[in-house]
């Protein structure tokens, strides 16, 4: 990647960062969502012994809803506010996608870490394979961010943007959630190690695939 | 430099404009006149590639259109959370050209508001900022949509100065309702 691409991607990322730091809407929404979700699940599971699979499943459900409700906004808002035209005039689609996907990835990883710390703290579940948990969390968040960013980008020019974005997300995200739960439950001492490693590899591959193909799909939509 | 050949745009079963052809070279300044809804802004947006054309072709000046084409439009939205200087830095980074923030802000007389978020700018100040972004890369073709709208007398003089400078390096298209803005051009196109 040459310096021009780096400069462009950094510019899009910084635009999102500066806007977020000043409005803090995504940050506060994510924080509130994490705390409320963890509190609700913990309250519902009070005095109940839960398995690693259930912990992993609930954690992924929380991550999925948190991402699917906030991350596509990054593209939808550009169209709704009319600022997408400014980007179309001065930016290349690949740098727009990567800049936004990078910002969404950061937001998703931060939310994922926050959710995990709170959730594991409240549930009292111990992570027995920390490296596997970390790989599944980070690769899962990157995959989620890439896929959800792509959904937002594809749906951004439709009339019913929010509905379409959610509808496209379902088939894209279900295999991802399945892989995430499979990997994470092993790290919580529930299942075979080989299954966990396979799921982790699948998540890394998913993350690479969405980040690599996303810009090309987005470019076609962006120019049409 | 900029060639429009048999350009047509159909919207909702109605032709907004059709069979439009013209060619502009260095020093050509075209003003597009017409009543409200005649398609002036749509024509500019079609030339800029922001709206798809139904028929015909548009040949933009050679090179990367991010730098060779500048558009300043009244309804163009900006980022409310970003400051004036941050807007110029953003567009420069995305275009891959020098930001020239001090020079451009001095030119459009907006230096005093460089750290102010766009959401706190008046209509005229936003118009100046958009003008600065449009001319940042010294474009070969500059498209201005209602450039005088929201500007005071000093702002109008600024438009005169910018259009005169543009004529020395490329071509200019102005879409307007204001008959006074005919002064900016040496060619006229009436849309009906």
Measured CA distances, A9 to A27, A71, A106, B6 (Å): 21, 18, 14, 37
Question: How far is it, in rounded angstroms, from Cα B162 to Cα B107?
Answer: 9
Question: How far is it, in rounded angstroms, from Cα A183 to Cα A41?
Answer: 21
* Pick from A6-10, A23-27, A95-99, B67-71: least confident: A23-27
Q: How many domains does chain A have?
A: 1
Q: What residue in B sits closest to A93 (Cα-Cα)?
A: B94
User: How many residues make up chain B in this entry?
Assistant: 192
Long-range contact list for A205-213, CB < 8 A, 24+ apart?
A206/A139, A206/A143, A206/A147, A206/A175, A206/A176, A206/A179, A207/A139, A207/A142, A207/A143, A207/A146, A210/A143, A210/A146, A210/A147, A210/A150, A211/A98, A211/A101, A211/A142, A211/A146
Percent of chain A at pLDDT exceeding 70: 98
B70 forms beta bridges with B142
Q: How many domains does chain B have?
A: 1
Measured CA distances, A117 to A59, A113, A188, B93 (Å): 11, 6, 14, 37
Q: Exposed, middle or buried by CB within 10 Å (0-12, 13-18, 19+), for B51?
A: middle
Question: How far is it, in rounded angstroms, from Cα B31 to Cα B45?
Answer: 15
- A–B interface: beta-carbon pairs under 8 A: 61
Beta-carbon separation of A23 and B82 below 8 A: no
Mutant choice from A4, A89, A157 vs B, greatest count of B C-beta within 10 A: A89
Structure tokens at A56: 């992993």
Beta-carbon separation of B69 and A92 below 8 A: no
Q: Which residue has the higher pLDDT, A157 or B69?
A: B69
pLDDT at position A221: 82
Beta-carbon separation of B50 and A83 below 8 A: no
Average pLDDT over chain A, rounded to whole? 87
pLDDT at position A119: 85
* SS3 at position B14: strand
Partners of residue B66 in chain A, C-beta under 8 Å: 89-92
Residues A207 and A82: beta-carbon distance below 8 Å: no
Q: What is the CATH number of the domain that holds B160?
A: 3.40.50.300
Residue A1 scores a pLDDT above 60: no
Handedness of CA B157, B161, B164, B166 (dihedral sign): negative
Sequence-distant (6+) residues with CB within 8 A of B62 are B68, B140
Q: What is the pTM of this model?
A: 0.88
Q: What residue in A sits closest to B45 (Cα-Cα)?
A: A85
Q: pLDDT class for A141, splitting at 50, 70, 90?
A: very high
Which of A11, A15, A95 is facing B79, going by the closest CB pair?
A15
Beta-carbon separation of A8 and B96 below 8 A: yes
pLDDT at position A22: 87
To the nearest 10°, report the CA torsion of B136, A218, A142, A63.
110
Sequence-distant (6+) residues with CB within 8 A of A5 are A94, A95
Partners of residue B75 in chain A, C-beta under 8 Å: 82
Q: Which residue has the higher pLDDT, A165 or A127?
A: A127
- In terms of residue numbers, what domain contains A37? 3-223
Mean pLDDT of A33-50: 81
Question: How far is it, in rounded angstroms, from Cα A217 to Cα A94?
Answer: 10
pLDDT at position A2: 63
Mean pLDDT of A4-24: 91
B144 forms beta bridges with B72, B174
- In terms of residue numbers, what domain contains B33? 2-190
In this structure, what DSSP letter does residue B61 have? P
Residue among B30, A197, A170, A73 nearest B47 (CA): B30
Partners of residue A16 in chain B, C-beta under 8 Å: none
pLDDT at position A143: 92
Structure tokens at A95: 């740098």
Residues of chain B with pLDDT under 70: none
């Amino acid at each position: 990647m040459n310096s021009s691409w780096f400069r462009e991607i950094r510019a899009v990322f910084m635009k999102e960062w500066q806007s977020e730091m000043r409005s803090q809407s995504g940050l506060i929404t994510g924080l509130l969502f994490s705390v409320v979700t963890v509190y609700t699940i913990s309250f519902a599971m009070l005095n109940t012994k839960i398995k690693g699979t259930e912990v992993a499943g609930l954690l992924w459900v929380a991550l999925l809803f948190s991402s699917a409700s906030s991350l596509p906004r990054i593209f939808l808002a550009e169209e709704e506010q009319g600022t997408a035209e400014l980007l179309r005039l001065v930016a290349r689609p690949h740098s727009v996608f990567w800049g936004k996907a990078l910002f969404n990835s950061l937001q998703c990883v931060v939310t994922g870490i926050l959710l995990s710390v709170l959730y594991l703290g409240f549930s009292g579940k111990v992570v027995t394979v920390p490296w596997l948990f970390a790989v599944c969390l980070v690769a899962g968040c990157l995959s989620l961010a890439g896929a959800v960013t792509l959904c937002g980008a594809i749906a951004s020019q439709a009339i019913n943007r929010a509905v379409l974005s959610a509808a496209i997300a379902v088939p894209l995200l279900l295999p991802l959630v399945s892989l995430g739960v499979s990997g994470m439950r092993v790290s919580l001492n529930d299942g075979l190690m080989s299954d966990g490693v396979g799921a982790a590899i699948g998540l890394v591959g998913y993350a690479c695939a969405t980040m690599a193909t996303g810009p090309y799909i987005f470019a076609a939509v962006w120019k049409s | 430099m900029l060639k429009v050949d048999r350009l047509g745009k159909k919207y909702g079963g109605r032709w907004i404009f059709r069979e439009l052809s013209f060619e502009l070279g260095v020093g050509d300044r075209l003003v597009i006149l017409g009543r409200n809804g005649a398609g002036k802004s749509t024509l500019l947006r079609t030339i800029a590639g922001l709206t798809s054309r139904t028929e015909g072709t548009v040949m933009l000046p050679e090179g990367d259109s991010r730098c060779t084409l500048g558009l300043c439009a009244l309804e163009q939205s900006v980022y409310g959370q970003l400051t004036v200087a941050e807007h110029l830095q953003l567009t420069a980074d995305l275009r891959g050209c020098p930001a020239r923030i001090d020079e451009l802000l001095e030119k459009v007389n907006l230096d005093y508001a460089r750290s102010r978020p766009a959401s706190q700018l008046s209509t005229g100040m936003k118009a100046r900022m958009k003008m600065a972004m449009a001319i940042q890369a010294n474009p070969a073709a500059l498209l201005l949509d209602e450039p005088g709208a929201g500007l005071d007398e000093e702002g109008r003089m600024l438009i005169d100065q910018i259009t005169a400078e543009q004529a020395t390096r490329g071509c200019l298209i102005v879409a307007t309702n204001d008959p006074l803005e005919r002064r900016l051009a040496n060619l006229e196109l009436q849309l009906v």
